[in-house]
Structure 1
Amino acid sequence: MSKIRITKQFNFETGHALYGYDGKCRNVHGHSYKLNVTVIGEPISDKNDVKFGMVIDFGDLKKIVKSEIVDKFDHATVFNKNTPHIELAQELMNRDHHVILVEYQPTSENMVIDFAEKIKKHLPGHIQLHSLKLQETESSFAEWYASDQDSH
C-alpha cells in the first residue's frame, strides 16, 4: 500500500514578545500565523470502514489541531515565563487578557517544536506527524520535519 501525506492549514492570531532580543520583536506584537500540518499514513483499505480510502479524516485532524493549538493560541499573548515578562503577563491576566506562559522563548522555531509534541500525542497509532510549517509573516516561516529529529 502507498504512503500518502495529508495536509491541513490552520490560521490564528497570536501576540508575543521576545525577552532580551536585540530587535523590534522585543516589543509586544502579533502575527497572523498560518500552520500547515502534514501527516503520513496509508489510506484505509477496509471497504466497510466509513473512512475507507482516507489516511485520516480532515475533520478528525482538525479536531486535534483546533483543540491543542488554535483554540489555545488564537488571540492569546505568549511569553517566556522564565523572564521578567512574567510581571507583564501577570498584569495582563489580572485584566482578563488571554496569556500563555511557556518554558521557551516564543519564536516560531520553538513554537513549532511545541506544536509538534502536542499534535503527536493525539494522532491515531497508524498515522505519523510528517511535518509542520508555521508561517509568521508572508515571507518568514519555521518548519519541523519528523525525519530531521533524533530517533533516540
Structure 2
Amino acid sequence: MIELRPIAFGDGPELYQLALEIGPGENGFVNGLYAGQYSEFESKLKSYIDMSAGSNLAPNLVPQTTYLLLIDGYSAGYGKIRHRLNDQLKRHGGHIGYVIRPSLRGMGYGKLMLGLLVQEASKLGIEDALLTCNADNWASRKIIEHNDGRLAGTDAGTCRYWICTG
C-alpha cells in the first residue's frame, strides 16, 4: 500500500530513523529534520508541523507542508511543499523538495513521490510548481522530467524546472 500524508507528532520515532539514514543532506537538498539527538529532532518536528499552518514562521520562511511517503507502512522518504515562494525560493528551493531513503533509491519511489507531491500542490492552489536541483544531479533531473518538468534554465549550477499541476 502506498500512502503520502502530512507528517504528525506520532511519526516521531520512524521519521527520526528516516532522517538519520538520509543524513544532513546532499545534492542541494538540506535535510532540515536531521538531528544528532532525539530531543533536538522533536523540536524540529514541532517547527515543521507549525510551518504547515503558517505558525511561528521566521521572517524569511513561508508556510510549508511536509509529507511522509509510506510503502506498506514503511517510511520511504519525505517531501515538502512550500505554499508560496519568496525571492530566495525562486532562486533555489522552489515549491517542492523531496528525498528518498538511501537504502530504497533506484526503485522508482522518487518518481512516485514527486507525482504525488504535484497532486498535493494542485490541491493547495499551486498551478505551476517550481523545482530546483543541482545541474549535475542527473537522478533528480530524470525524476523531474519524468513528471513533466520543463527546464526553464540553469544558473550558477542550479536547474530550474516548472511542472504544471493541472
Fold shared by both chains (TM-score > 0.5): no
TM-score, normalised to structure 1, is 0.31
Larger radius of gyration: 1
Structure showing the higher helix proportion among its residues: 2
